Chains A and B, each alone.
Chain A
Amino acid sequence: MIKKLSDIDVRWLYLIMVIFAIYPLLRPIGLPLPITDRARNSFAAIDALRPGDLVFFGIDYSPTQEAEMWPQTLAIGHHLAQRGVKMVMLNMIEGAYRYEERIRDFILSEYPNYQYGVNIIALPFTAGREAAFNSIVADLKGLYQVDLAGAALNTLPLWNEITGAGDFDMYVELADAPDWWLRPMSQVPGLKLWNGTVASGASTMAPLYQSGQMVGFIYGMAGAAEYEALVKKPGSAAAAMDTQSMGHALIILFVILGNIGYIVQRNAEAKAKGRK
Chain B
Amino acid sequence: MLNATTGTWLAAFLTLGLFSWMYKENPWFRLVEHIYVGAALGVLASQGYQSVMDIAWKPATQQGKTLLYVPLILGALLFSRWSKKYMWVSRSSMGFLVGTLSAVVMTGAIKAQLTAQVAATMMPLNSANNIIFFVITAAATMYFVFTLQAKWASPIMDLGKYGMMIAFGATFGNTVMSRISLFTGRLQFLLFQWLKLTPGGS
Q: Is the CB of B55 within 8 A of A126?
A: yes
Main secondary structure of the interface of A (DSSP, over half): helix
Cα–Cα, bound, A219→B171 (Å): 13
B66 contacts A by Cβ under 8 Å: no
Question: When each residue 160-202 of chain B gets 1 if its CB lies under 8 Å from chain A and 0 otherwise, what string results?
Answer: 0000000100110011111111111111100100000101110
Question: When each residue 105-122 of chain B gets 1 if its CB lies under 8 Å from chain A and 0 otherwise, what string results?
Answer: 101110111001101100
Q: A25-B188, A25-B199, A126-B55 are in contact. Are A94 and B43 (CB under 8 A)?
A: yes
User: Number of B residues contacting the other chain (C-beta, 8 Å)?
Assistant: 51
* Cβ–Cβ < 8 Å partners of B117 in chain A: 207-208, 211
B37 contacts A by Cβ under 8 Å: no
Which among A63-71, A99-107, A264-272 touches the partner chain?
A63-71
A179 contacts B by Cβ under 8 Å: yes
Main secondary structure of the interface of B (DSSP, over half): helix
Q: Is the CB of B58 within 8 A of A11?
A: no
B175, B181, B186: the one within 8 Å of A221 (CB): B181
B contact residues vs A (CB 8 Å cutoff): 22-23, 40, 43-44, 47-48, 50-52, 54-55, 58-59, 100-101, 104-105, 107-109, 111-113, 116-117, 119-120, 167, 170-171, 174-188, 191, 197, 199-201
Q: Is the CB of A26 within 8 A of B199?
A: yes
Q: Is the CB of B184 within 8 A of A243?
A: yes
Looking at the assembled complex, report how far the CB atom of A132 sits from the nearest CB atom of chain B, in whole angstroms.
8
Q: Is the CB of B181 within 8 A of A68?
A: yes
Q: A125-B47, A134-B104, A179-B113 are in contact. Are A68 and B178 (CB under 8 A)?
A: yes
Query: A residues 133-171 with Cβ under 8 Å of B?
Result: 134, 143-146
* Cβ–Cβ < 8 Å partners of A21 in chain B: 180, 183-184, 187
Which among A35-43, A73-81, A244-252 touches the partner chain?
A244-252
* Cβ–Cβ < 8 Å partners of A97 in chain B: 47
Looking at the assembled complex, report how far the CB atom of B182 sits from the nearest CB atom of chain A, in whole angstroms.
5
* Tally of contacts, chain A with chain B, CB under 8 A: 162
A26, A67, A187, A201: the one within 8 Å of B184 (CB): A67
Cα–Cα, bound, A208→B52 (Å): 33
Cα–Cα, bound, A95→B44 (Å): 7
A contact residues vs B (CB 8 Å cutoff): 11, 14, 17-18, 21-22, 25-28, 62, 64-68, 94-95, 97, 124-127, 130-131, 134, 143-146, 179, 182-184, 186-187, 198-203, 207-208, 210-213, 219-222, 236, 239-240, 243-244, 247-248, 251
Looking at the assembled complex, report how far the CB atom of A154 sits from the nearest CB atom of chain B, in whole angstroms.
12
Q: Is the CB of B176 within 8 A of A248?
A: yes
* Cβ–Cβ < 8 Å partners of B43 in chain A: 94-95
Q: A95-B40, A239-B199 are in contact. Are A220 and B176 (CB under 8 A)?
A: no
